[in-house]
């Protein structure tokens, strides 16, 4: 009976987290303000792994991590950051689902010399159509306006 209660509790937490993502995404399109708070990125990575483990398992994909210890928290909109990470992870899973051979999604975190925190997601998938070797991506940059609008990391 206790196991059933714990399972139901986990389901409710996951549903609430997904509902919060949808709610914040709607605010984004209504030009709502970001809800900035301190976010532990390693904790967020672990939460997203739990959320997406079923999808990865369904496609026989291993999820690995290389998370730096002692990372400082960052200021940003937790749900929007979760959405970005979830999208990156789902894109990686999608890129690997038809791959023969090794299927691994690797999520890394690190702090730079400039005290910036970086989270990266890599996969062993085929890459975007037309990319030489499947690994050519352009970096994503954003200006201060986008930073303010999306509650990006400080």
- pLDDT tens for each residue of 72-125: 999 998 888 988 999 999 999 999 988 898 999 999 999 999 889 999 999 998
Among 136, 130, 49, 124, which Cα is nearest to 94's? 124
H or E segment at 120?
A: strand 117-123
Burial of residue 98, with CB atoms counted within 10 A of its CB: 0-12 exposed, 13-18 middle, 19 or more buried: exposed
pLDDT for 5 equals: 79
Burial of residue 136, with CB atoms counted within 10 A of its CB: 0-12 exposed, 13-18 middle, 19 or more buried: exposed
pLDDT tens digits along 19-56: 766 665 666 566 556 678 999 999 999 999 999 999 99
- Is residue 121 a contact partner of residue 92, using CB atoms and an 8 Å limit? yes
Among 152, 153, 141, 64, which Cα is nearest to 114's? 153
100-106: list long-range contacts, CB under 8 Å, 24+ apart: 103/59, 103/60, 103/61, 103/62, 104/61, 104/62, 104/63, 104/64, 105/56, 105/61, 105/62, 105/63, 105/64, 106/63, 106/64, 106/65, 106/66
The confidence band for 150, taking pLDDT boundaries of 50, 70 and 90, is very low
How far apart CA 103 and CA 33 sit, in angstroms, is 38
Is 0.75 topped by the overall pTM? no
Average pLDDT over residues 138-154: 43
* Total residues belonging to the chain: 154
């Amino acid at each position: 009976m206790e196991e059933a209660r714990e399972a139901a509790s986990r389901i409710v937490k996951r549903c609430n987290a997904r509902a919060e993502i949808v709610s914040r995404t709607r605010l984004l399109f209504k030009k709502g303000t970001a809800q900035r708070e301190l976010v532990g990125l390693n904790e967020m990575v672990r939460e997203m792994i739990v959320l997406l483990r079923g999808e990865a398992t369904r496609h026989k994909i291993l999820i690995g991590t290389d998370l730096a210890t002692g990372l400082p928290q960052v200021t940003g909109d937790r749900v929007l950051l979760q959405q970005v990470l979830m999208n990156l992870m789902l894109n990686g899973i999608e890129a690997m689902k038809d791959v023969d051979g090794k299927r691994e999604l690797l999520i890394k975190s690190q702090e730079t010399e400039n005290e910036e925190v970086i989270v990266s997601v890599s996969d062993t998938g085929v890459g975007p159509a037309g990319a030489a070797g499947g690994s050519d991506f352009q970096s994503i940059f954003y200006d201060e306006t986008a930073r303010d609008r999306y509650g990006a990391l400080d």
